[in-house]
Structure formats: C-alpha cells, structure tokens
Amino acid sequence: MKLSTTDFGGNGRPFLLLHGLGGDRSAWETLAPQLNGHAVAVDLRGHGESPDGGWDWEAVLDDLDETAVHLELDEPVVVGHSLGGVLTGMWALRHPECPAVISLDGHRSATTHPANYAGLPAQEVAEGLAKLNAIFDAQLETITRPSHEILSALRTSPELLDALPVFAKVISPFLLVLATRNLPVPPDLVPLFDAHRAGLRRDMPENVQVREIDATHGMVSEQPAELAELINHFVSSRFNA
C-alpha cells in the first residue's frame, strides 16, 4: 500500500515518524524540523490521505517497509506517538538493526487489563473502566476516519491493550517518553488514569529507558521543543557511545 508522506527535509540520519490513532502526518509539523536528521512522516493506512485497508499489524509494517525502501530511508530511527509508539516496538522486532526506537506515550490502551492498574482497589478499577468504555462507545458513533472496522480491531488488539510484552523483546536502544499529566477527563476518572500511569511505572521492561515529561498524552503538540531535545540527545548518545 502506498502511504501518503511528508518529507520535512534535513540532513544526516533518517527519521521515520508515526502518528497516533485518528491522527495524521501533520501532527509532526512543529517537532520534525527540530530533529537532527532527515525526517519523514507518514499517514498510516486508514488515516489522513493514505488508502483504507484492514488493520493487520504485519500488513501495516509492510506498508512502512515499502515506504522506507521507496524513500531510501536506510535504517531509520523510528519515532511514534501513541499507536505509532506501539508500532515502533513492532518495527524494531522486525528490524533488529534499527539504531534507535522512541515511543511517545505509546504503551497501553487507556482501557487495558484490570491488573495493569496499580494502587486502586479492584472494584474502583472495574467501575472506572465501565465509565470509560461507555465514553469510548459514544465516541465511536461520531468518528468516520479511521473506519469503525479499524477502530474496533484496535480496541481489542492484545498489542494495543498492552504493548509492554512486545517492548520487552526489543534489542534496539529504546526510549519511552511518559506523560505525567492526564488529559481532561471527568473528575471521577482521574484515579483510574493515575493508576494506569502507576502500573506503567511498575511494569516497564528493563530494556526500555523511560523519561517523563510535564505534558498530557497530547505531548507532541504541547511540548515539541522539549521532545525534540529528548529525542536528539537519546539518538546522539547511541551513535557517540
């Protein structure tokens, strides 16, 4: 599948930028020019101006492989936000030679398995998940792209529910940038989101380097300069080690 792309230019090592669920390549317009290299962003299948297609992780990775080859991105650093951050781990498993992997708050769905929430009684987790799933159910009725087929497939995907088992297998240098603030949510859901973050801190694989940032899940638009600095430092430290 031929993906729509934006080449932000730049010289040096290539960067492949992957947006989050429901987003598109325009998400990187502020951050990408601040990267120390040649940055290219894509619209994933079913998003932006890329064609529609069923969501199969291997097929999505095939799309990215074809794009990298077509654009002559040789062993790119892969940076992804949210869904794109989950994909970075899968890319690195397929490409163990990947020089660096950066996930920007891409790790577990907000409605992950109840055991993945830390420090909150099980009954409160169950009640919070019921409320959050009801909100997501209502939102599904208003979204036209990506398709309901893609959204439904991703919502129950084991990899999106919890990408940490995938991340644990990655041998490439791996940085995960974790948001420390919640998106605007009803007050009664704040404890659930805090418990979600606590579970991530508890369960993160040892091979993943974690940096926290004063931002919400929308960090790419909120803190592009700080993120670019974190990414550039991480990548340069790998090459200069």
pLDDT tens, position by position, 110-131: 999 999 999 999 999 999 999 9
Distance separating alpha carbons of residues 128 and 47, to the nearest angstrom: 29
Which of 30, 32, 4, 36 has the alpha carbon at shortest distance from 17? 32
Residue 22's φ and ψ, nearest 5 degrees, are 85, -5
Reference 89, options 173, 5, 155, 157; nearest CA is: 173
Mean pLDDT of 213-217: 97
pLDDT for residue 23 is more than 60: yes
The domain ranges of the chain are 5-239
Q: Which fold has domain 5-239?
A: Rossmann fold (3.40.50)
Residue 241 has pLDDT above 60, yes or no: no
Is beta strand 14-18 parallel, antiparallel or unpaired with respect to 38-42? Answer: parallel
Q: Residue 97 and residue 173: Cα distance in Å, rounded?
A: 10
Q: Residue-wise over 205-215: b if at least 16 C-beta within 10 A, else e?
A: beebeeeebeb
Instruction: Check residue 238 and give its pLDDT.
Output: 81
Share of the chain above pLDDT 70, in %: 99
The pLDDT of residue 191 is above 60: yes
Provide mean pLDDT across the span 178-206: 97
